[in-house]
Amino acid sequence: MSALIAALQADEETRTQLEDRWEELTEALAEGKADKVSDEAKDLSKRIDELAREDELGEAEAQALQEELTAAVGTAVESKGNGNGGDGKGEGGDKGDGDGRRQGDSD
C-alpha cells in the first residue's frame, strides 16, 4: 500500500495524508485491535472515494488503493462483527443466554 501511495500522481499533501492514515491502520492491525482496524479501514476507504470524486485521484488509482486496502485488511474487517450480522445478544429468537434455545422452545 505504501508503494502505491508513493507512486500516486497526487500532490504531496494528499499522499502524506493517505500514508498517515495507512500507518494508523497498520498500527491497529499490529496491536490486534479489530474495532479500530475496521474504523480506520472505513475512514481510509471513504477518503479514497472522496479524493476520486474531487479528481485528486484518478479512477484507476482509487480502484488500486481500494483493492489493496481490501486485500490487506479484508479479513480483519470481516471478522469484526458478532457473527451473522448479529448484535451480540443472541441470534434470531435466541434468548442470548448461551443455551442456544430460541424463545418459546421447551426442554
Could you report the per-residue pLDDT of 28-42, keeping only the tens digit for each? 999 988 889 989 999
Which positions of the chain have pLDDT values less than 70?
75-107
Q: Kindly give the residue spans of alpha helices, DSSP state H, lying in 32-88.
A: 34-53, 59-78
According to the model, what pLDDT value does residue 84 have? 39
Domain ranges of the chain: 2-78
Q: How far is CA 72 from CA 45, 54, 101, 104, in A?
A: 12, 25, 38, 44
Q: What angle do CA 48, 54, 57 make, to 5 degrees?
A: 50
According to the model, what pLDDT value does residue 74 have? 72
